[in-house]
Amino acid sequence: MDNYLLSIALTIMLLPLAGSVVAGLLGKQIGRAATHCVTILLVGISFLLSCYVFKKIVLEGYPTVQGVVYQWVSSGTFKFDVGLLVDRLSATLIFIVTFVSLMVHIYTIGYMADDPGYQRFFSYVSLFTFAMLTLVLANNFLLLFFGWEGVGLVSYLLIGFWFNRESAVFGSLKAFLVNRVGDVAFVLAIAAIVMIFGQLDYHYVFTHVNLVLDKTIKIFPTVTPPAISVVCVLLFIGAMAKSAQVPLHVWLPESMEGPTPISALIHAATMVTAGIYMVARMSPLFEYSTATLSFILVIGSITCFFMGILAVFHHDIKRVIAYSTLSQLGYMTVALGASAYDAAIFHLVTHAFFKALLFLAAGSVIIALHHEQDMRKMGGLARVMPITYLTFVIGALALAAIPPFAGFYSKDAIIEAVHLSTIPGAKFAYACVLAGAFITPLYIFRALFLTFHGDMRLDAETKKHVHESRWVVLIPLIALAVPSIFAGGMLVGPMLFMKPRLLGDSIFVLPAHDVLSQLAVHFHGAKNMALEAGQSLPLWLAFMGIVVAWIFNLYKPSLAEKLKKQFALLYSIMVQKYGFDDFNQLVFVHGTRRLGTFFYKISDLILIDGIFVNGSGRLIQWFARVSRHLQSGYIYHYALVMIGGLLIFLGWLLLGS
C-alpha cells in the first residue's frame, strides 16, 4: 500500500507537468480547444487522485508514507533524493492546490478567450501547479527548494505574461528580485542544516533536533547564537519573501499586473501560501526557538494590521483584494508565531476558497467592463450581474469573518489563540489582529458597495453591453462559493480541537506552547461557536467595519472627501504605501543599478578591458617595438650579441666553480 500511495503522489505531481509540456510544445498544433481540454483533464485527474489520498491518509488515518522515487545526486556521504512525503499535512495541501488550480483552469477558458497567448497561459498555469505540488510533497530540503524556486520562476513568467506592457514587466521583475532576497536566506538555512545535521531528509533532521540544541554558530567572534535559532530565522526570512511579509511584501501588489486567473492562483493556493506551509512543516525546529517565534509574531501582526489599512485607500479592485491577501497572510503568520500551526493551516484552507472566489468574481466584473479595474467607474452592477454579485457577497462575508461563513471559524480561532499565547510579542499581536477584525470588513465591503451598489458610473458604451459572464466563468465561482460557506464549520472541530487533530503528528507543538488545547476546553461544536460569536469583540468590530463602509461609500460619500482634505498628510502616506515602494525603488533598484554601474566601470572597463585585454595587447605591442630593433640585419650586430652571450656564459661558469 505504501508504494501504491507513493506512486499516486508522484502521478498527482507529474500530471500537471505533462499538461504543461503538451500545451507549451504542441499547443499551436493541436489548437485552443484541445489545449484546454488536455490541461484541464490532467489537472482534474490530479485532483481526483488528491481526493483519494486525502481520504486514505486524513479521513481513514492511514499512516504517513514516504520514500525515495529517484536518487538525484550522490556525492561522498551525501545523497540528494527525489523523495516524497505523504502525510496529513501534505495530503490536505495537495487537495486544496489541485482543487483551486482546477477551478482556475476552467475559469481561464472564459477569461483568456480572446488572448493570443491562450496556449502559453495554460502551459504556465499547469507548470505552476506542478511546482507547488513538488514543494508540498517533498520529503527533504533540496526537493523543497526545487519546488520553491519553481513557483518563483513561473510566477515571474505569469506576472509578466503580457510582456508588451511595461508595468507587467516591472511587476514580474520586482517579484523575481524580492523573492531572491528570501531565497538567499533559504539557501543559507539549508547550508546550515547540512553543517549541523549532516543530512537534508526531514525525518532525520526532525528526529535529531534534540541533539543539536546546545550547538552554536559563530557569526562574529563575539556573536555565537544557538544554531537552531539561526536556522529558523533564515528559514523564516525565506518565508517572509515568498509569503509577502513586511518588508518583503512589495512584490505582491505588483503581481496584479498578471491576468486575473493567475492572481487567484498565486494568492489563494500557491506561491504565497508556500511560506506558511514551510514554517508549519518545520514546526519541530521552530518550537525550540522562542526568539524566532516572537519575531514571527511581530512581523505577522505588523503585516496584518498595516497592510489591511492600505486596502482601504486603493481604487483598483484587484489591488484591494491583493492587500487583503497580505493582511490575511499576516493572520496566518501570527498563528505560526503563537505555535497555533493547525490554526494557520486551517486559515490557509478557508482563505484559499474565499480568496480565489473574490479574485475570480472580480475577474468576472473586469471581463464585463472590458478590463476596467477602477471601482470609481463601476457601481450598480448587482442588477445586471446577480450571480457574480452573490458570489462576491459570500466571499466578502467569509473574509470579514461573519458566522457561519468559513473565514469566521479560522480567523476567530487565530485571534483567541494569540490572546492565550505567552510568547513575547503576543500582546502586541493581539491588538493588531483585533484591529484587523475591524479593518477587513471595512475594505472588502467598501469594494462591494463601490462595485455593485449605488448608481452606475459606467460610460454610455459600456453600460449598453454590460451583462453577466458566461457559464464557464460562473461555474468556478459557484463551486468556490460552497466551501466558502460550509468549509469552516465542517473543519473547525477536526482541525483544531478534536483529539487527534486532523493534521495529526505532521505538526509538532511543545506542551508549553499548545494554546489550541486550552481553547479546546471551551469548544462545544461549530454551531455553538457561531451562536456565541455575539459575546466576542471581533464580531462587533466586524459589524462596525461594515457600517462604516456603508456610511462612507453609500450613505454619505462626501464625508470621505472631507476627511481626505482634513487629513491630507495621512492620506498621502497611505496612498504612497508608507513609502515602502519608494524606498525599495530608491535604495534597491536605483542603488543596485548604481552599484552595478560602478563595478562595471571598475571591473569591466578598467580591470578586464583596460588592463587584462587592452593592457596585454599594449604590452605585446611595446615588446614587439623594442625587440624589432634587435633584428637590424647587420652581421656584426649579431656577432656582437653572440660574443656578449658567450662572455656571460663563461662568467657564469667561472663564478659557479
Q: What is the mean pLDDT of residues 410-422?
A: 92
**Whole-angstrom Cα distance, residue 155 to residue 254?**
12
Q: Which of 18, 117, 101, 95 is nearest to 51 (CA)?
A: 95
Joined grid coordinates for residue 157: 513568467
pLDDT at 609 over 80: no
Both 537 and 593 in one domain: the answer is no
pLDDT tens, residue by residue, 241-262 = 888 898 888 888 888 888 888 8
Joined grid coordinates for residue 304: 496584518
Angle at 273 between CA 511 and CA 374, to 5 degrees: 135
Which domain covers residue 632, as residue numbers?
A: 587-656
Residue 380 domain flag: yes
Percent of the chain scoring above 90 in pLDDT: 37
Q: Which of 284, 270, 379 is nearest to 339 (CA)?
A: 284
Return the pLDDT at 541.
92
Q: What is the mean pLDDT of residues 183-190?
A: 92
Residue 83 domain flag: no
Return the pLDDT at 464.
76
Both 457 and 414 in one domain: the answer is yes
Q: Collapsing DSSP states into helix, strand and coil, what is residue 223?
A: strand
Report yes or no: 332 and 347 within 8 Å, Cβ to Cβ.
yes
Residue type, 605: L
**Whole-angstrom Cα distance, residue 274 to residue 490?**
24
- What number of H helices and E strands is found in the chain? 28, 2
**Whole-angstrom Cα distance, residue 501 to residue 173?**
41
Return the pLDDT at 657.
59
Question: How many domains are contained in the chain?
Answer: 2
Q: Please, which pLDDT band fits residue 457 given cuts at 50, 70 and 90?
A: confident
pLDDT at 269 over 80: no
pLDDT at 602 over 90: no
Which backbone phi and psi does 511 adopt, to 5 degrees?
A: -55, -35
> Between 372 and 94, where is the model more confident?
94
Both 536 and 641 in one domain: the answer is no
pLDDT tens, residue by residue, 88-120 = 999 999 999 999 999 999 988 888 888 888 889
Measured on CA atoms in the order 119, 123, 124, 128, is the torsion positive or negative?
Answer: positive
**Whole-angstrom Cα distance, residue 46 to residue 125?**
14
Q: What is the mean pLDDT of residues 292-308?
A: 93
Q: Collapsing DSSP states into helix, strand and coil, what is residue 597?
A: helix
Residue 234 domain flag: no
Residue 277 domain flag: no
Residue 472 domain flag: yes
Q: Which of 51, 53, 40 is nearest to 102 (CA)?
A: 40
Q: E-assigned strands of 7-100?
A: 65-75, 78-86
Query: What contacts 220, CB < 8 A, 6 or more positions away?
Result: none
Q: Which of 230, 218, 234, 219 is nearest to 145 (CA)?
A: 234
Q: What is the mean pLDDT of residues 328-333?
A: 93
Secondary structure element (H or E) that encloses residue 236, with its range: helix 227-242
Q: What is the mean pLDDT of residues 454-477?
A: 83
The residue behind cell 496612498 is 575
Both 555 and 619 in one domain: the answer is no
Measured on CA atoms in the order 82, 83, 89, 90, is the torsion positive or negative?
Answer: positive
pLDDT tens, residue by residue, 513-557 = 889 988 888 888 888 888 888 888 889 999 999 999 998 888 887
Return the pLDDT at 1.
65
Cis, bond preceding 494 (omega within 30 deg of 0): no
Return the pLDDT at 576.
77
Q: What is the DSSP string of 51-74?
A: HHHHIIIIIS-PPPEEEEEEEEEE
pLDDT at 236 over 90: yes
- The length of the chain is 657
Q: What is the DSSP string of 351-419?
A: HHHHHHHHHHHHHHHHHHTTS--BGGG---GGGT-HHHHHHHHHHHHHHTT-TTSHHHHHHHHHHHHHH
**Whole-angstrom Cα distance, residue 81 to residue 141?**
10
Average pLDDT score, the chain: 87
Return the pLDDT at 644.
81
Report yes or no: 645 and 630 within 8 Å, Cβ to Cβ.
no
**Whole-angstrom Cα distance, residue 164 to residue 22?**
25
Joined grid coordinates for residue 503: 493534521
Both 372 and 403 in one domain: the answer is yes
Residue 78 domain flag: no
Q: What is the mean pLDDT of residues 619-637?
A: 74
pLDDT tens, residue by residue, 123-171 = 999 999 999 999 999 988 989 999 999 988 888 888 888 888 888 888 8
β-bridge mates for residue 410, sequence order: none
Report yes or no: 215 and 227 within 8 Å, Cβ to Cβ.
yes
**Whole-angstrom Cα distance, residue 272 to residue 241?**
9
pLDDT tens, residue by residue, 477-507 = 999 999 999 999 899 989 888 888 888 888 9
Residue type, 331: Y
The domain boundary, picked from 553, 575, 597, lies at: 575
Both 323 and 468 in one domain: the answer is yes
Return the pLDDT at 589.
64
pLDDT at 588 over 70: no
The residue behind cell 460619500 is 557
pLDDT at 634 over 80: no
Both 515 and 493 in one domain: the answer is yes
Both 414 and 350 in one domain: the answer is yes
Q: Collapsing DSSP states into helix, strand and coil, what is residue 511?
A: helix
Report yes or no: 241 and 248 within 8 Å, Cβ to Cβ.
yes
The domain boundary, picked from 575, 609, 642, lies at: 575
Q: Please, which pLDDT band fits residue 217 given cuts at 50, 70 and 90?
A: confident
Return the pLDDT at 431.
93
Report yes or no: 104 and 265 within 8 Å, Cβ to Cβ.
yes
β-bridge mates for residue 567, sequence order: none
Report yes or no: 101 and 125 within 8 Å, Cβ to Cβ.
yes
Both 360 and 322 in one domain: the answer is yes
pLDDT at 122 over 70: yes
Residue 15 domain flag: no
pLDDT at 445 over 90: yes
Percent of the chain scoring above 70 in pLDDT: 98
pLDDT tens, residue by residue, 5-41 = 888 999 999 999 999 999 988 888 888 889 989 999 9
Both 545 and 598 in one domain: the answer is no
The domain boundary, picked from 555, 575, 595, lies at: 575
Return the pLDDT at 630.
67
Residue 129 domain flag: no
Q: What is the pTM of this model?
A: 0.87
Both 529 and 647 in one domain: the answer is no
pLDDT tens, residue by residue, 428-438 = 999 999 999 99
pLDDT at 282 over 70: yes
Task: Report DSSP state, residue 498.
Answer: S
**Whole-angstrom Cα distance, residue 133 to residue 137?**
6
The dihedral region occupied by 61, where left means phi > 0, alpha psi between -120 and 50, and beta the remainder, is left
Both 333 and 452 in one domain: the answer is yes
